[in-house]
Amino acid sequence: MMMDVQQYLRRISCSGLCARSPTLDTLRALHLQHLLAVPFEDLAIHTGERVRLELPLLYDKIVLKRRGGFCYENNGLFSWLLSQLGFEVEILAAQVKNRFTGAYGPPFDHLIMMVSLDGERWLCDVGYGTGFQRPLSLETDSPQTQSHGVYRVRADGNLFFMETQSESDEWVEMYKFTLQPCQREDFKAMCEYHQSSSSSIFFCKSLCSLLLPNGRITLMGRKLILTHLTSEDGPPVKTTRTDLTDDEIIEILREKFGIVLTSPLIIKDVDIVPPPVNY
């Protein structure tokens, strides 16, 4: 299968960026537009499909079929796009701190990227779900304020922690990582783990989430969660509707996420079993 950069850019409403040089402004625009266009979702796991990491398959799913994916898919394909546009990209491995269990996932739990540009390093991640909107500088541990939150990357020796600021101004760890370069193939075993382990959120919960200019929309199981950012300094306003019917979920996927499933969705939302080791 031929993978077309222009078609990918049209998918994320960035057609005009192809001719531009690989600048920080271009990187920021690509990162944000990808999050606004491509959902973070694990629906393949709950429709009897298998998630595979070969780039042509990711391109077919995300670009041609206008679906989304989880980190290995969204970040795996986005890293290819950046390299095609002339960016210097390294794939890195991270371990996510599970917000339900408080435990870190195993090694290769999460795929992220580092882009080196004009002597500076930038953390990119379009496959986390509720993460940052634009690349984060790896050259500072100072707070970095963005449209939907405040973030920082804190170094502790060779280990880095990506953190977000809570409503009570406390720093909350989201994931940890090193700068050791990886290959996409390195994540195959963990990709299988996330499709079959009761310790994985993706196996336990059918979910689909998309960044909005003024908030976020998320489907998890039979819950619809809408987050709206206010223009004031107060916390985001969150609205949750539960007990959605199967038909309502399919309609929301089509209208709000642009997703039309070709196989029946088995809706799931069960408790996550904490892993035996806190890595």
Question: Where is 241: in which H helix or E strand?
Answer: strand 237-241
For residue 200, give every residue at least 6 positions away whose Cβ sits within 8 Å of its Cβ, in sequence order, or none: 105, 193, 194, 272
Query: Active-site residue 110, yes or no?
Result: yes
Using DSSP's 3-state secondary structure scheme, residue 151 falls into strand
Apex CA 155: angle with CA 153 and CA 161, to 5°? 50
Query: Active-site residue 31, yes or no?
Result: no
The catalytic residue among 14, 34, 71, 109 is 71
Query: Active-site residue 204, yes or no?
Result: no
The catalytic residue among 42, 125, 191, 208 is 125
CA–CA separation, 161 vs 156, rounded Å? 8
From 175, 208, 153, 189, select the one nearest 72 (Cα to Cα). Answer: 189
The catalytic residue among 31, 46, 110, 194 is 110
**CA 211 to each of CA 85, 127, 207, 241: distance values in angstroms, whole numbers, following the listed order:** 24, 11, 14, 18
Whether the Cβ atoms of residue 178 and residue 92 lie closer than 8 Å to each other: yes
Instruction: Output phi, psi for 136, to 5 deg.
Output: -105, 140
Per DSSP bridges, beta strands 215-220 and 223-228 are antiparallel
Using DSSP's 3-state secondary structure scheme, residue 229 falls into coil
Half-sphere exposure of 83 (CA within 13 A, CB side): 12
Residues identified as active-site: 71, 110, 125
